Amino acid sequence: MRPSRFLLAAGLAGPILFLVIATLAGWLRPGYSARTDAISDLGVGENAWLQNANFLLFGILLVGYAVGFRRAMAPLVGVRTASWGAVVIGAGAVGTVGAVVFPAAPATGLFHFLFGFLIVMVSAVVAACYGGRVFRRVPGWRGLARYSTWTAVVSVALFITTFFVLNPASPMAAAGIGGLVNRTLATVAFAWYAVTAWKLLRMYRRTGPPTVLSDTTMHPFTIGRWASALASGRPTGSGRSTP
């Protein structure tokens, strides 16, 4: 597997591994309920190391995907625009570190929310908004752009709902579904990384990386030829990708 594909695969593997390991950590925690308890609760108490390692692994994979995303998207939308997307994706890793440094314990719960959960989720939502706007420029990607926009909308709605159902002072907490809503939010928001990574991996398999003539510009003919190949499924005879 080429380095760029390996980095893109990190975006596909990250959300899947995160949810699988969180589920395993919940099974190993006596008295833990995935319906009522948040994922972050697994970072405190018995076997907390497992979920904390899960946070860090997810952060590392996000950074890898950010690098691969920039390399793959730069020929399509320009280096500057692709770099902004990479920064937004990579920012989520800061939140995963914050979630470990400030666990969801009573003494550090507020810091966990501010420097962990909030950063991770805001990064995911902004990344989806970015995709909803930028992917429209790529031929044949309007469906992915719509998916990105709806991911952002649904994630914001679930984020607000999570805040209420997990807040003991809220009447909605009595429903006892805080953990379920929290997991739904994580699944919807993090799925964007996996879906976009899969799309980029398929693009590489079908057409190969396009030739980039400089770090900031591509010759118009190169863009047009590769865009036509994306639309038709024809190979392009790829060259070097952006470093």
Supply the DSSP symbol for 174: G
pLDDT tens sequence across 14-68: 999 999 999 999 999 999 999 999 999 999 999 999 999 999 999 999 999 999 9
pLDDT tens sequence across 129-175: 999 999 999 989 999 999 999 999 999 999 999 989 998 888 888 88
Over 44-73, what HEC string results?
A: CCCCHHHHHHHHHHHHHHHHHHHHHHHHHH
CA gap 195, 151 in Å, rounded: 11
| Burial of 121: CB neighbours in 10 Å, binned 0-12, 13-18, 19+ | buried
CA 84 remoteness from chain centre: 14
**Cβ(4)–Cβ(203) below 8 Å:** no
* Domains in the chain: ranges and CATH: 3-232 (1.20.1070)
pLDDT tens sequence across 197-222: 999 998 877 766 554 433 433 434 34
CA gap 143, 108 in Å, rounded: 41
Ordered alpha helix ranges (H), the chain? 3-28, 48-77, 79-101, 109-112, 118-134, 142-165, 178-207, 220-232
Closest by CA to 121, choosing from 87, 166, 160, 147, is 160
**Cβ(8)–Cβ(200) below 8 Å:** yes
pTM: 0.84
